[in-house]
Amino acid sequence: MKYLIIGLGNIGPEYELTRHNIGFLTIDRLADKESCTWTSDRLAFKTEFKHKGRTIHLIKPTTYMNLSGKAVNYWMKTLQIPKENILVVVDDVAIPFEKLRMKPKGSAAGHNGLKNIEELTGGQNYPRLRMGIGDDFPKGRQVDFVLGRFTQNEFDALPAMMDKAIEMILAFCTIGIERTMNQFND
């Protein structure tokens, strides 16, 4: 069994510790825990590891957030991984900070990275792990908020949040999405 876990984010040091990069940060932490080494490959940084008899491929698209679908589509086809075995790890302003929700499908809800994945993979029917970053911003300032750095309190809470997300990712790959959602969704 093969799985493809995609962490969404933007490349470059100016984006490294921003809320929009929580997908990158989370799968970086997973790769560190599994002692993986990233390589730069077609449209993404890529690594893989084995877990309970499954091969888990991790990618961080290098296409920037709004063109993430190019990398997702390419690696799904190249690795021959069906849509139900991919998981997109993404920030979500509609969910309170620290809350995590896995869904088997859904709308992009205004998220340009998810919109591009929908366009290039043929619809909304792919699993995603939505990581809450909250909506603590004044009207019209959403872009500044998501591209802004975490507050110190948020930064202090990140490791526990990412560790729970990692548990959910590994559960998705071993016990399936339904049982993972029942066990972990906030």
Q: At what angle do helices 152-175 and 177-184 cross, to 10 degrees?
A: 140
Question: What H or E segment, with its residue span, contains residue 91?
Answer: strand 86-92
Instruction: Say if strands 44-51 and 100-103 run parallel, antiparallel, or are unpaired.
Output: unpaired
- Annotate 43-66 with b (16+ C-beta within 10 A) or e (fewer): bbbbbbeeeeeeebbbbbbbbbbe
What pairs with residue 128 in β-bridges? Answer: 88, 103
Residue 145: how many CB atoms within 10 A of its CB? 17
Expressed in angstroms, the distance from the first to the final Cα of the chain is 28
Helices (H) and strands (E) in the chain, counts: 6, 7
Q: Which positions are annotated as active-site residues?
A: 20
Beta bridge partners of 117: none
